[in-house]
C-alpha cells in the first residue's frame, strides 16, 4: 500500500495558522499540500489568541487534539474577564507560548487500501470535564484479508461554562458523533459496507435505548 504523508512544523514561540491541508482524493496516492502563515506573538492579547484560533482552517478536524487546547485556553481568558486588547499576564503568556511549541504531524490521507473488498466506518466519542469530541475511522480490507485503519475526520468542542454532569457531557459527545457521521456519509463518494458508533459509557447506552420522553 502506498502511503501519502503531509508534514506541518510549527516553530516554537510563534503564532501559527494552518490555512489549508488538502488531498486530491481519499483513494489516490498524491501528497497533500500544507500552507502555513507565521506571525509574531511575543506579546499576546485575547483578541490575538482568538484571531489565531479562528484562523486555523481544518475542515476535516485532523488537528482537533491541538486546536481544542487553544479553545480551552481562550475560554480561560473569558473566565478571567480579560479585555480584548489587554496584554496577557505573564503566567498566561507562558502557557500560550507552550501551546505554540513545535508540532510535527504526519497524516496519511489514503484512507482506503488498494483492491478493498470491505469498507467499514467506525466512530468514537468521549468526554472529559473540559472538552468532548468525536472521530471517524475507515477500516478497509483487501482481497488478501489484510485490514488497515486510518483516521478520516474528527471534531471537538469545549464544555459550556454552565456545569454539566459527566453523563450529560457523554451524551453531548454522542450527539456530536452522530452529527459528524451524518455529515460524512453525505459527503463520501463510495459505499460503506458496515458502520459502528462506539462509546465507553454504559450509562449513556442505557439512556439512548430508553424512552425518548426521558
Residue 210: predicted pLDDT: 83
Residues 92 and 115 in one domain: no
Residues 97 and 134 in one domain: no
Closest by CA to 118, choosing from 141, 86, 136, 134, is: 141
pLDDT tens string 160-179: 999 899 999 999 999 999 99
Q: Assess if residue 60 is contained within a domain.
A: yes
- Cα-Cα-Cα-Cα torsion 153, 132, 65, 50, nearest 10 degrees, comes to 110
The whole domain housing 68 covers 5-107
With a cut of 50, list the residues of the chain below it in pLDDT: 1-40
Residues 117 and 162 in one domain: yes
Q: Assess if residue 21 is contained within a domain.
A: yes
Residues 77 and 9 in one domain: yes
Residues 10 and 103 in one domain: yes
Q: Assess if residue 214 is contained within a domain.
A: no
Q: Assess if residue 57 is contained within a domain.
A: yes
pLDDT tens string 183-202: 999 999 999 999 999 999 99
* Set of cell numbers at residue 184: 460524512
Residues 77 and 130 in one domain: no
Residues 123 and 94 in one domain: no
As for how many domains the chain has, the answer is: 2
Residues 64 and 24 in one domain: yes
Residues 83 and 98 in one domain: yes
Residues 204 and 160 in one domain: yes
Choosing from 107, 128, 161, the residue where a domain stops is 107
Closest by CA to 121, choosing from 146, 143, 153, 145, is: 153
Chain position carrying cell 496519511: 108
Give the CATH number, domain containing residue 183. Answer: 3.10.20.370
Q: What is the CA radius of gyration of the chain?
A: 20
Residues 37 and 97 in one domain: yes
Q: Give the Cα separation of 94 and 92 in Å (integer).
A: 5
Residues 98 and 117 in one domain: no
Amino acid at each position: 500500500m502506498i502511503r501519502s504523508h503531509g508534514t506541518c512544523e510549527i516553530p516554537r514561540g510563534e503564532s501559527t495558522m494552518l490555512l489549508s491541508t488538502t488531498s486530491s482524493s481519499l483513494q489516490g496516492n498524491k501528497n497533500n499540500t500544507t500552507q502555513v502563515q507565521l506571525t509574531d506573538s511575543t506579546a499576546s492579547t485575547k483578541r490575538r489568541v482568538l484571531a489565531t484560533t479562528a484562523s486555523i482552517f481544518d475542515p476535516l478536524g485532523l488537528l482537533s487534539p491541538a486546536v481544542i487546547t487553544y479553545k480551552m485556553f481562550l475560554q480561560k481568558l473569558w473566565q478571567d474577564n480579560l479585555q480584548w486588547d489587554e496584554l496577557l499576564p505573564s503566567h498566561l503568556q507562558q502557557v500560550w507560548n507552550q501551546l505554540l511549541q513545535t508540532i510535527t504531524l504526519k497524516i496519511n490521507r489514503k484512507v482506503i487500501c488498494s483492491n478493498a473488498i470491505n469498507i467499514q466506518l467506525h466512530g468514537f466519542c468521549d468526554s472529559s470535564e473540559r472538552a468532548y469530541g468525536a472521530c471517524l475511522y475507515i477500516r478497509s480490507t483487501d482481497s488478501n484479508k489484510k485490514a488497515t485503519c486510518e483516521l478520516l475526520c474528527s471534531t471537538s468542542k469545549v464544555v459550556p461554562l454552565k456545569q454539566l454532569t459527566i453523563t450529560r457531557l457523554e451524551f453531548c459527545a454522542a450527539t456530536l458523533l452522530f452529527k459528524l457521521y451524518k455529515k460524512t456519509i453525505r459527503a463520501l463518494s463510495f459505499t460503506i459496507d458496515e458502520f459502528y458508533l462506539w462509546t465507553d459509557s454504559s450509562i449513556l447506552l442505557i439512556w439512548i435505548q430508553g424512552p425518548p420522553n426521558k
